[in-house]
Amino acid sequence: MLYPNPQRVTSWLVICPVGAGVLMLGLQGKVAFVFGVASEDSIAWAICEKLAEAGVTLYLGFQKRFMSRVFQLKEKLPAIAGLYPLDVASDELTAEFFAAFAAENSGVKADILIHAIGFAPRECFDRPIIFVEDEQINTAMTISANSLQRCLRHALPHLNPGSSTITLTYAASTRYVPSYGIMSMAKAALECWTRELACHLGPEGHRINSISSGPIPTLAAGGIPGFDRILDHVAANSPLRRNVSQDDVAGTAVWLASHLSSGVTGQCIHVDAGFSITMVPESIMDS
Ligand code: NAD
C-alpha cells in the first residue's frame, strides 16, 4: 500500500496524545545506553544528539581518557542522566559499568543499546598484515567485535523486552580496502555477531542490527593510513557524490531504535551515499 491507512493514523493519535514528530518515532520516554563517545566528531556523539531530540534518556559508558569530552556533551544535553566509565577490554570492567548504573538507577531499564566501539593497536597498521602478532589481533577482535556479545550479555538484565541494539561496521568486512587490515576481520566478525545475537535474542523480541557507515573523519578513523584518500575517492565516486556525515548515520540509528523498524533484525544497513553498490569507479570514464 502506497498511502498511510487513515484508520491507523487515527488510532495512533488516540494512543499517543503527544506532538506529531514524537508520535512518528515513539521514542519519547525511552532509555538508551550509548557506548563510544570520544569527541564531538564521534558518530556516537551525533547519535546522542538525535536520540535526545527524540525524547530518549541517555546513560553513557565512556573510556576515562575521554572523560572531559563526555562531560562537555552532558552539559549540552540534559537528556544525559548518567555517565559511567566503561572498558570493554575485559569482562570485569564491562560488568563495572552496569554495576555502577544499577547502583544509581534502581529499577531503570533501557530500550536501546548503541555500541559504537572500535579499536586496533597501532602495531596492526605499521606492518604488512602477515606480520601482525596474535596479541594485537586478539585485542582488535575483543574490543571491536566480541565486545558486542560482552556488552549485550551484561546489558540483558537491564533491558526491557523488545529492545533495539545498534552497532557500527564498515564495508571492508566483505571487500578489500587498502590499509584497513585487521579491522576488516573485526568488522566481519562483528556483523556475524549481529546475526548470531539477533537469532538468539529474537524470540524474546530483542533486535540487533548494524549500520555500515561510509568513511567519516573521527579519532578512530585517524588511525587508518591513507584515510583522506579514501574520503576523496568516495566523494568522487559514490552515487550521491559526497561522503556521509555523523548526522546521516545518526538518523538511521534513530530509525533502527524506533518502532518504525520493528520488523528489522540481524541486518547490516549501509549508510554510505550508495558507495557499496558500485564496482567500477565512474572516474574511469573521464579523460
Ligand atoms: P571514535 O574514535 O569517535 O569512537 C570510537 C570509540 O570506541 C571511542 O569512544 C572509544 O572510547 C571507544 N573504545 C575504544 N576502545 C574501547 C574500550 N576498550 N572500551 C570502551 N570503549 C572503547 O570513532 P567513530 O568513527 O565514531 O567510531 C565509532 C564506531 O564506528 C567504531 O566501531 C568504528 O569502527 C565505526 N565506523 C567508523 C567509520 C568512520 O569512518 N569513522 C566508518 C565505519 C564504521
Q: Return the best residue to mutate from 34, 50, 63, 115 for the ligand 1 pocket (most ligand atoms within 8 A of CB).
A: 63
What is the pLDDT tens value at each position of the chain, 287 positions in all? 344 444 444 444 334 445 554 458 999 999 999 999 999 999 999 999 999 999 999 999 999 999 999 999 999 999 999 999 999 999 999 999 999 999 999 999 999 999 999 999 999 999 999 999 999 999 999 999 999 999 999 999 999 999 999 999 999 999 999 999 999 999 999 999 999 999 999 999 999 999 999 999 999 999 898 999 999 999 999 999 999 999 999 999 999 999 999 999 999 999 999 999 999 988 788 87
Does the Cβ of 86 fall within 6 Å of ligand 1? yes
What is the residue with the minimal CA distance to atom 13 of ligand 1?
117
pLDDT in tens, 176-205: 999 999 999 999 999 999 999 999 999 999
Return contacts of 121-130, CB within 8 angstroms, 24+ apart: 122/223, 124/181, 124/182, 124/183, 125/179, 125/181, 125/223, 125/224, 125/225, 129/181, 129/182
Pocket test for ligand 1, best of 49, 119, 154 (most atoms within 8 A of CB): 119
Pairing, β 110-115 against β 31-35: parallel
Residue-range domains of the chain with CATH: 27-282 (3.40.50.720)
**pTM greater than the 0.95 cutoff:** no
- Which residue puts its alpha carbon closest to atom 34 of ligand 1? 118
How far apart (Å, rounded) are the C-alpha atoms in residues 184 and 188?
A: 6
Contact predicate 33/114, CB 8 Å = yes
CA distance 249 to 209: 13
Inter-CA distances, 46 with 15, 38, 50, 89, 133, Å: 30, 11, 6, 24, 34
Nearest ligand 1 atom to alpha carbon 246 = 26
Which cell numbers hold the place of 93? 570492567
Gap from CA of 230 to ligand 1 centroid (Å): 18
- Number of Cβ within 10 Å of residue 265's Cβ equals 21
Left, alpha or beta for 18 (phi > 0: left; psi -120 to 50: alpha)?
A: beta
Measured distance CA(281)–CA(234) in Å, rounded: 9
Task: Give the C-alpha separation, 257 to 34, whole Å.
Answer: 12
Write the pLDDT tens digit of every residue in 99-117: 999 999 999 999 999 999 9
Mutation choice for ligand 1 from 37, 43, 90, 114, CB with most ligand atoms inside 8 A: 43
Q: Is the CB of 216 under 6 A from ligand 1?
A: yes
Instruction: State the catalytic residues.
Output: 170, 180
How many angstroms is it from 37 CA to the middle of ligand 1?
A: 8
